[in-house]
Structure 1
Amino acid sequence: MIAGILAGLLAAGLGAYYVYQPPQSPGGSSNAPTTQDADAKAVDALMALPEIKAWSSHIEKASKGRAHGAVMETAPEQRLVDGKPYYQLSFFESTPDAAHRWESFLVSPDGKRILVEDLASDELFSLERWRKESKPMERAGN
């Protein structure tokens, strides 16, 4: 039941999130960054990680296109870590029946700082520590 609810929420969230197009001002683009620009930078930075690219490719191939990798904001509010704001994002394997979270991340609005969140221990890891200890590329068969 919970998986069904999560799948429905994920589908609705992904539909709203990926359909979003930043508004353009009538006179062209503004120099002031918007919250949505920062949101997009954070997602783009996460999507650029080699682990996320490898996981997405692995999911597509292993499922023969029936499942896909997806990044979704998992909390509407930013989280402060050492006084700095971070978006709360997760990478999911999205299937027609459910969504399975692979990993949770905190990403700064400028996309320059990425932390990995261990939900079991509520501990935050640097990318370097996460790569060394968790060996995330092994999940994609690399």
Structure 2
Amino acid sequence: MVKPSVIIVREQDELVAACCVPFDGEFLQQIGKMDLYLKERAVIHNTGELYQQLSKEFGENLSLDIVDPRNKGYLFPRIIKDVVRYKLSLWQAIKTIFTLRVPAVILNGQLLASGKGKISTETFELIKRSINRTNI
């Protein structure tokens, strides 16, 4: 039996890099008392929570991956592999690849959530129902 696959696509913690060193705006927070990356940090936290929930709920019974969208050399072949493995239609594959916006959640090659700042609990429940339905 093939394990279900979930790919969470989100920016990694190093939001901007300057000369190979992460630039997170910390010095501007100290000087200007403003957080330049508040929205991005919320997305990172939210997707991390989804990862932890899925990991806790399904453990080794789920292929779970967090991918930075800038890593196209890994992301797109991984999506195509899932599309072939789960026998999705060409239309569904095209939809997954070309409508993907960060943050995104992909279940078995199908795009479940894309481009919303916060991944909802409904997305987790949808994944859970789908996995439980296929394991019955």
For Structure 1 versus Structure 2, the TM-score category normalised by the shorter chain is 0.3 to 0.5
The structure where helix makes up a greater share of residues is: 2
Larger relative contact order (CA 8 Å, sep ≥ 6):
2
The structure where strand makes up a greater share of residues is: 1
TM-score (norm 1): 0.37
